[in-house]
Structure 1
Amino acid sequence: MIDRQHLRIVHAIHQHGTMTQAAKSLYLTQSALSHAMKKLEHEFNVPLWQKEGRRLFLTQAGESLLGLAQRILPQFEHTEAQLRRFAEGKQGTLRIGMECYPCFEWLLKIVAPFLKRFPDVDVDVRRAFSFGGLQALHGYDIDVLITPDPLHLDAITYTPVFSYEQVLVMHSTHDLATKAFIAPRDLAQETLISYPVETSRLDIFSQFLTPANASVKSHKTIETTEIILQMVAAGRGVTALPKWLVDESQESELLCCRPLGEEGLTKTLFVGHRKRTDTLGFIDSFVEMAMAQGLKTNSPQQ
């Protein structure tokens, strides 16, 4: 029978590659680790790994077991963390994944009232996923995912929160400020400043420049919205951001925005979460609060 310890061992072997390091990471002796896996191999009459020098490599059967470990172990950890929170008299932690860099400022407007409504719930926001937000949500590493580019799975529900226009932002005296809208070829001699995200996930490339077989003179990346806008306000380049964010910026008087293309580039922000029942109620409440804030963001006063 496969148990949790087998999954932990296979996962550790995959991570560390040697019996010594895997056993050390699990606080086991090498003999105990080896005995547990030999017993499982004997039960199913199939090898789970092979040795080449000092390193261990999973067989096809071992890779199958690893896939199970990668799906199940995070769920164990999530449930155990929740149980510990219950034991401390707290409801839990809402773990939010962000696939929209500029939307962090928008999220802050939801977090404060959420914490007030749920004083026993903590909030953890994660903005970087080397493996992608959808996988983190499906694998129980996060509870909700804020994204403008939902990838649909049967187990995930996406709720549209609000729509916004993605615009080109430049200094108010920039030559392109005289145009009614920006064409892809207009950026051929420009320095584009963006977040450190692969270009395939940047709308200005994937939905504007690349389809027109166009590009920019140079491309710089900066982590924070504030610095990007300060760079643009200083005439160091142009950027593409949601219009509402530019309107709220402290640098707005030095900046101007123009639509990307004659029809503009409109995006919708979604909140994704697993379809399983939210027994504690705070995930559903977060979605409701996000929708309410979305209405405020889209209101004429904003």
Structure 2
Amino acid sequence: MAILERIHLAIIRAVDQHGSLTAAAEQLHLTQSALSHTVRKLEDQLGVAIWRREGRSLQPTQAGEYLLAVANRLVPQLAHAEERLKQFALGESGALRIGMECHPCYQWLLKIVSPYLASWPTVDVDVKQKFQFGGIGALFGYEIDMLVTPDPLFKPGLRFVPVFDYEQVLVVGPGHPLRDVAHAKPEHLIEETLITYPVSIDRLDIYTQFLMPAGIRPKRHKPIETTDIMLQMVASGRGVAALPRWLAEEYAAKLDVAAVRLGRHGIAKQIFLGIRETDADIDYIGAFIQLARAHQEHTRKTT
């Protein structure tokens, strides 16, 4: 009877990530012959091939694809469990890996991380903006411990907590005809260059909640990754942008830009922190959520 061991799953992941048995063996600190022997023995016991050779590369068979999916799910969970147990044994707190699913949220996050690190000197913070399986998959796959997102996807096993309210607005430059209007209408953007972060249109609120319901698209859509460059473009009259009001107002202090409400009632949004239900009682994760909510209350009182 075949026994599927952790080393088998680690090998399958390593070959997929590095493309060859040689590179996988090096990453796992094994000789190539030892790795090949382990794989052959497993295939003999299972009675099915895991890879097929295509030229110089290895491609997973149907069985290999299935084992790779299992490995991608289980290996990070086992590593996370071992790390947590090690921390318990040493009396340490651990590391908080935060995933970002919205570009402007990064500036908001910086306001929380600084006091958090001061309050929790034994906890390291890491921020990830690219995930192998998307934000929700990264949480389930233990790539991250917390997801910052304005668009939560409620699923069993996950908990999302709203921590910050904001308004999505249109940002315009000096002399722009919309600068002094009470609110922008979808038709105002027909002849505009709309600058956004490089996110699919179905995840951009200015499209889904403002333009698309009116059947309107801007003359040009220009994705830009960094907030600084985006607003420099707006300030130089190269287009208009969609951003949170608080971020637009921060930049208005150093650039000649102004925030304009989108529609009569505006577009109200929230930033959510998503965690795994099983991590809800971890003290340093709960402390981060509490600090984020306290920051929201402080912002309300000072504005």
What is the Cα deviation at residue 252 of structure 1?
Answer: 6.7
1:196-231: CA deviation from partner (whole Å, max 9, x where unpaired): 223332211232223333222223333332332233
Q: 1:21 to 1:248 in 2, by over 3 A?
A: closer
CA distance in 2, matches of 1:132, 1:250: 33
Structure 2 unaligned blocks of 5 or more? none
Q: Which runs of 5+ in 1 are unaligned?
A: none
Q: Deviations over 1:53-74 (max 9, x none)?
A: 3332222221111111101111
Indicate the larger mover: 88-97 or 132-141: 88-97
Q: Which moved more, 1:3-12 or 1:48-57?
A: 48-57
Partner of 2:96: 94
Go from structure 1 to structure 2 and tell me whether the alpha carbon gap of 1:17 and 1:256 turns closer, same or farther (over 3 Å shift).
closer
Of 91-100 and 20-29, more deviation after overlay is shown by: 20-29
CA deviations over 1:15-71 (Å, ceiling 9, x no partner)? 344333333333323332222122222223222222333332222221111111101
Distance change >3 Å, CA 300–CA 248, structure 1 → 2 = farther
Answer yes or no: is 1:108 the counterpart of 2:91.
no
Closer, same or farther in 2 for the Cα pair 1:130/1:223, shift >3 Å?
A: farther
Structure 2 contact 249–259 (Cα < 8 Å) conserved:
no
Structure 1 position 187, deviation (Å): 0.7
Match of 2:240 in 1: 238
Deviating more after overlay: 179-188 vs 226-235: 226-235
Cα contact 1:98–1:125 (8 A) shared by 2:
yes
Please identify, of 19-28 and 118-127, the stretch whose mean Cα deviation from structure 2 is larger: 19-28
Residue 296 (structure 2) pairs with residue 294 (structure 1): yes
Which secondary structure does the structure 2 equivalent of 1:276 belong to?
helix
Give the CA RMSD over aligned residues: 2.4
Preserved CA contact (<8 Å) 2:169 2:245: yes
Rounded to whole Å, the distance in 2 between the matches of 1:193 and 1:165 is 17
Partner SS state of residue 223, structure 1: coil
Of 227-236 and 174-183, the range deviating more from structure 2: 227-236
8 Å CA contact retained: 1:169, 1:258: yes
Q: CA deviation at 1:4?
A: 1.1
Q: Identity over aligned residues, as a percent? A: 50
Aligned 1:1-302 pairs, distance under 5 A? 1-82=3-84, 90-129=92-131, 131-251=133-253, 254-278=256-280, 280-297=282-299, 299=300, 301-302=302-303
